[in-house]
Amino acid sequence: MRAFDYAAAPDLDSALSAIGVGALPLGSSHSARFVAGGTNLIDLMKEDVMQPWRLVDISRLPLAAIEETPEGGLRLGALARNADTAKHPLVRQRYPLLSAAILAGASPQLRNMATNGGNLLQRTRCYYFYDVGVPCNKRAPGSGCPARTGLARQLAILGASQACIATHPSDMCVALAALEARVHVRSPRGNRAIAFADFHRLPGDQPQVDATLEPDELITHIELPARGYARHCAYLKVRERASYAFALVSVAAAFELDGEGRMRHVRLALGGVAHKPWRDLEAEALLEGQAPQAETFERAAEQLLAPAQAYGSPGGPGHNGFKIPLARRAIVRTLEMARDGELTNTGELGAGIFQEQ
């Protein structure tokens, strides 16, 4: 780990002032950074993947509250711990999809430390990104992307570019994408709100830039809309071991059923398949107003995965090609679970939440 300057911010204005003088262009590994839980940033610093010259500690700022909004939604403080968010009564009762997604991620120890704002900003777990001995356009722009023809098992099948096929690792963010959350940020220039669909970005020719957040902007809270899909939602995570593993494919599905049993306000998001949580509005439109049947679910899955492409070479062309049929089956299964009121693939968490309502 490289030497760095440390500043503990007593208030929000001090934090913004401390980061402003050290903010470098977006994507720079040397830029000053905010730190709270540090569950991803500190690991990256130990590996020399990120080398910020200054850390601004924001852990003491009053940004941990979880409270209702005047519009009937929920405000999640950026410094609220993931564990506290998942178990909060209002989250469990109104947004069980979010609770299930958070509990599917990391480990209890990490969830106890990780913050909501930090979860949005965690970096990819691509092998090449973490290995400073090999090229990586995300870590060192212009150096190349060996993952495209190398070990790509965990990597993207949607939205990739010639420069990068990394995936975003968060479970929480997949649920937030499906719930159409908004991210509120503050900088010396004032406040702004970012639609969740616009917060993360695809790699394009700047894979080092993960989000549309400016270098001197701080996430203050995440806003959930009033519609929480408490009855018909599900989160399915497919991974290589039962816990403490990142998704090969994850799916968040949510909809309401009208008086005739047809789907309304359908939301469908995928994780583990792209540089950002993946939504396809055309796929969702195929489900809108339809009966929740397997044939309809399969058509939506085909639409969503139509542009999918395999990458990597070990074991033959398309090292991660298995993700395409895996995602197709996962989408259908998750929509069936949401229809039947099963929040997770075990059904246990969903049953517990619904009993509390």
pLDDT digits (tens, 9 = 90+) for 82-131: 999 999 999 999 999 999 999 999 999 999 999 999 999 999 999 999 99
Please tell me the number of Cα atoms within 13 Å of 321 on its side-chain side: 10
Please tell me the number of Cα atoms within 13 Å of 285 on its side-chain side: 4
pLDDT higher than threshold 80 for residue 268:
yes
Whole-Å CA distances, 153 to 140, 188, 207:
22, 42, 19
* Cβ–Cβ under 8 Å, residues 196 and 219: no
* pLDDT band (50, 70, 90) for residue 242: confident
pLDDT digits (tens, 9 = 90+) for 117-139: 999 999 999 999 999 999 999 99
Q: Which position has the token pair 């001090």?
A: 14
Among 200, 189, 194, 187, CA closest to 19: 187
* pLDDT band (50, 70, 90) for residue 349: very low
pLDDT number for residue 315 = 63
pLDDT number for residue 1 = 83
Question: Rounded to whole angstroms, how far apart are CA atoms 121 and 304?
Answer: 25
Which helix (H) or strand (E) element contains residue 215?
A: none
The torsion angles phi and psi of 233, rounded to 5 degrees, stand at -150, 160
Q: Which amino acid is at 58?
A: I
Question: Rounded to whole angstroms, how far apart are CA atoms 99 and 221?
Answer: 17
pLDDT number for residue 356 = 30
Quote the percentage of the chain above a pLDDT of 70.
Answer: 94
pLDDT higher than threshold 80 for residue 346:
no
Q: Which position has the token pair 């397997």?
A: 294
pLDDT digits (tens, 9 = 90+) for 16-74: 999 976 667 667 888 899 999 999 999 999 999 999 999 999 999 999 999 999 999 99
Whole-Å CA distances, 259 to 254, 256, 262, 263, 291:
17, 10, 7, 10, 11
Average pLDDT in the 337-351 region? 73
pLDDT digits (tens, 9 = 90+) for 269-324: 999 999 999 999 999 999 999 999 999 999 999 999 999 999 998 765 579 999 99
pLDDT number for residue 236 = 97
Question: Rounded to whole angstroms, how far apart are CA atoms 253 and 334?
Answer: 6
Residue 26 structure tokens: 């977006």
pLDDT higher than threshold 80 for residue 152:
yes
* pLDDT band (50, 70, 90) for residue 354: very low
